[in-house]
Amino acid sequence: MRRAWGWILALVLVLLLAWAGYGAYQAYRGLASRVSALEAQVQAQGETLKALSERLGKVEEEVSKTPAPPISLPEAPEVSGGAAWPYVVGLLLVLLLAYLLLRFLRTPGKGAKKEAPPSSGEGQA
């Protein structure tokens, strides 16, 4: 009986190995078909690139044959001077305010001296 179990185990092992080998073969065939599809796609794209490069060469030839004006730098826009009167008015206002402020600060000192009675000898006698 022990010999039978050995043969059965060997047969199961061979079947498992055969099943795993068949799965690997199927995966290989799937990959091979994907590779061939990708090769066909790359070949088609290569042909498309060749056609596009030929068309680009023709366009470049046509462009080089057409006369064109010489390349030059664009002209700089003219800068118009801004109005100066707002600055003049602002400066005049600042000067007027400074004058009035200084006059206001100086006036109380002169008025206080004029209003105060002169200090003569009247207070001593």
Q: What 3 state SS string does the chain have? A: CHHHHHHHHHHHHHHHHHHHHHHHHHHHHHHHHHHHHHHHHHHHHHHHHHHHHHHHHHHHHHHHHCCCCCCCCCCCCCCCCCCCHHHHHHHHHHHHHHHHHHHHHHHHHHHHHHHCCCCCHHHCC
Q: Where are the domains of the chain?
A: 8-65+85-112
CA 43/CA 51 separation, integer angstroms: 12
Q: What is the mean pLDDT of residues 34-62?
A: 95
Q: What is the mean pLDDT of residues 106-123?
A: 58
Tell me the pLDDT of the chain averaged across its residues. 85
Give the range among 32-36, 37-41, 45-49, 102-106 with minimum mean pLDDT: 102-106
Please indicate whether residue 117 or residue 80 has the higher confidence score (pLDDT): 80
Please indicate whether residue 7 or residue 112 has the higher confidence score (pLDDT): 7
Query: What does the pLDDT read at residue 125?
Result: 47
CA 88/CA 34 separation, integer angstroms: 82
Q: What is the mean pLDDT of residues 11-22?
A: 94
Query: What does the pLDDT read at residue 101?
Result: 92
Query: What does the pLDDT read at residue 118?
Result: 58
Residue 79: pLDDT band (50, 70, 90) is confident
